[in-house]
Structure 1
């Protein structure tokens, strides 16, 4: 019997509106831009993938336009004719051909997994070893920058049982202003919710020493990437003295980074992101490093739409423990999406389908409507 091969890869840039501006330390998102990948195989099976960045080059090394260009010109041609079911061989070919480009590779690996799952009648989580849960608790980011508005938003989400884990994006304002903002929200929410902060590398070490002490002493559960990823010594020192756990995010740009951080003792929590590791299989290698080192796990996001969110979710379902939950709320930030089946959020969790592949079908009309011309 002839094995199916990879016939064609097509990329589209899609711009989707968001429910509100999303304020980060380095950038304010007014919309979300996705790179959607369609991988077609000789047996007629199509796999879909997604690569999404937060704020384009303001956040990381890859932009939507660069992702599309590199897939079209370099990565896709290298895959044509390869066995569609041999994901390992395809990704090894890409790693030999191109350094980095983890966002682009993640979209391709996702599409290969989706196609193989459809071909075999299995959800992606089964291809990744088998799910040990069917849903994931999901945090929400309070990012309006206005204290009263953020409190009202959190109270509403608690009332409708959508979220009880809240992250605050801080760092762009003066330190004392940010601390007042965070502590006011924590006082209002009390023990009804977990409150965490994400600094996106915006503090220097001296600011972080003081801030982490204040935050930890006042019930803040987690501090994400408070100082620059290149200050490895500072991360180690901060992790040793902060009363609140320190989570590495921007510090992990690869699986190799995860090993180096674990060996140095630079964080007690790792944020897992498929886009920054190179795909759902790759992110599980980072998780294995963390678990071996006794480092706790958090399911991170690049604020992907439904495709990237469910690709992450299928990987996270296979993990033994996610101590700090996940942040897979990207589809909830959008007013429109490009899939027929909206991800299901209820009782504080994202519920992940057990249907073949990712469990999603593209909505052709919506895709055409929002695709960048």
Structure 2
């Protein structure tokens, strides 16, 4: 046994935070504020500390409530009282065994599990002196193309936001849909006119057309195509509806709420219910299974992006390491351009006015690059962590 693998986990620490927003962000179904996340530290007997993050949203989940929402409170409780005792005394290199034991200790709670599993990879990298992407298969790509999210806002605000992100070098955009087909097509058309024909436009319906019925959902997506959308994310709910829309339209249909685990991807592919998959570290329960989601998607010829809940620099580091290592993650990813206050870019990927990491991520020509240090490659700013701490 090497010295690195003899490391043992001794304690798990959770730190709820609330990050300051650059502006108000809304999407369909979102009732609270973004940035109310939980930072996690895994302590070891060798003094190394692994970092993770949970980004729980109580009002968001999978099709037909298959995967339940979480809150900062549930994350803290589950980590402290259920998962912490499971991982105590274990090696951070035993990821498969730890994931199995966490699943055996409690069903669901994928965001809480993802925070711990993320920290395992950070510890592994720090112990071995390797970046996390090397532990996930190596660096397949040097940078990850970023898609900037345009939240629910009126046409003029959406155009202003898109142009500011375009000025920062961003050439891909996700437009949040309201569920009103006319309004959604109007905003999409205005943004397309503003950013030009070469930008990639993706409209995220967040299942917003599910109550229209399948035929009207198809009409809504066709209207979005006419307005300039290249991709439409999760227009409806459930395999039959997703399959009907996917077959009827030309736009790339991306499954998000329908795709959490590798098994979900198999069902989507077998039913022709998506053209692409949106991968989350949190939805999968960690980096290991998130890579599994992307790998299975790749087997079926379904390209992927990395998406999430707009993490702080901790969770976003995991996003970028994952996308760096996975061949199937070829679509522009809706992830932050992490930067503390005063960073070099004002709009593209900037959802928060500040962050709890010490250094901005390298962002160049619309691409975000993984931090190059060991593990996740980040350090916490302890003063900011304390300033934004909520419990």
Asked if TM exceeds 0.5, the reply is: yes
Q: How much does 1:159 deviate?
A: 2.2
Aligned to 2:82: 74
How many residues get paired?
Answer: 367
Is residue 269 from structure 1 mapped to residue 276 from structure 2 by the alignment?
yes
Pick one of 1, 12, 15 that aligns with 1:12: 15
Which position in structure 2 is the counterpart of 1:310? 317
Does structure 1 retain, via aligned residues, the 8 Å contact 2:20–2:354?
yes
**Residues 90-105 of structure 1 mapped to structure 2, 5 A cutoff:** 90-105=98-113
Matched residue SS, 2:357? coil
Change (3 A) 1:46 1:298: same
Change (3 A) 1:35 1:337: same
Deviation at 1:342, TM superposition (A): 2.1
Match of 2:366 in 1: 348
| Larger CA deviation: 58-67 vs 16-25 | 58-67
- 1:227 aligns to 2:233 (yes or no): no
Q: Deviations over 1:145-186 (max 9, x none)?
A: 12112112222222231x1101110124x3212211211221
Aligned to 1:360: 378
Match of 1:210 in 2: 219
**Paired residue for 2:190?**
184
Match of 1:89 among 94, 97, 105: 97
Q: Quick one: which of 287, 296, 299 aligns to 1:280?
A: 287
| Cross-structure match for 2:64 | none
Which aligned pairs between 1:108-127 and structure 2 lie closer than 5 A?
108-127=116-135
Instruction: Name the counterpart of 2:351.
Output: 333
Partners of 1:224 and 1:84 lie apart in 2 by 35
Match of 1:140 among 132, 148, 158: 148
Of Structure 1 and Structure 2, which has the larger fraction of its residues in strand? 1
Deviations 1:42-82 (A, max 9, x none): 111100000103xx212231112111111111001111111
Q: 1:28 to 1:345 in 2, by over 3 A?
A: farther
CA shift digits 1:248-273 (9 cap, x unpaired): 00111322222211221110100010
Structure 1 stretches of at least 4 aligned residues deviating more than 4 Å after TM superposition: none
Task: Check whether the contact 1:39–1:46 (CA below 8 A) recurs between aligned residues.
Answer: yes
CA distance in 1, matches of 2:187, 2:139: 39
Equivalent-residue separation in structure 1 for 2:120 and 2:282 (angstroms): 15
SS at match of 1:81: coil
Does residue 65 (structure 1) correspond to residue 65 (structure 2)? The answer is no
Contact 1:16 1:337 in 2 (8 A): yes
Q: What RMSD, in angstroms, separates the aligned Cα atoms of the two structures?
A: 1.6
Quote the Cα distance in structure 2 between the aligned partners of 1:218 and 1:243.
13
Cross-structure match for 1:128: 136
Q: Distance in 1 between matches of 2:91 and 2:293?
A: 26
Shift of 1:127: 0.7
Counterpart for residue 198 of structure 1 = 204
Equivalent residue for 2:178, pick from 154, 171, 182: 171
Aligned partner (choices 240, 244, 252) of residue 237 of structure 1: 244
Gaps of 5+ in 2: 62-68, 339-349
Quote the Cα distance in structure 2 between the aligned partners of 1:4 and 1:209: 54
Change (3 A) 1:71 1:133: same
Shift of 1:28: 5.5
What CA distance in whole angstroms lies between the structure 1 residues aligned with 2:18 and 2:221?
37
Q: CA deviation at 1:40?
A: 0.6
Query: Does the alignment pair 1:320 with 2:327?
Result: yes
Of residues 227, 240, 248, the one that matches 2:255 is 248
Distance 1:176-1:144 versus aligned 2 partners, 3 A rule: closer
Task: Name stretches of at least 5 consecutive residues in structure 1 with no aligned partner.
Answer: none
Q: Which moved more, 1:252-261 or 1:9-18?
A: 252-261
TM-score computed with the length of structure 2 as normaliser = 0.90
How much does 1:29 deviate?
A: 5.1
Post-superposition shift, 1:216? Answer: 2.1
Whether the 8 Å CA contact 1:212–1:243 is kept in 2: the answer is: no
Could you say what secondary structure the match of 2:18 adopts? strand
Distance 2:247 2:304 in 1: 18
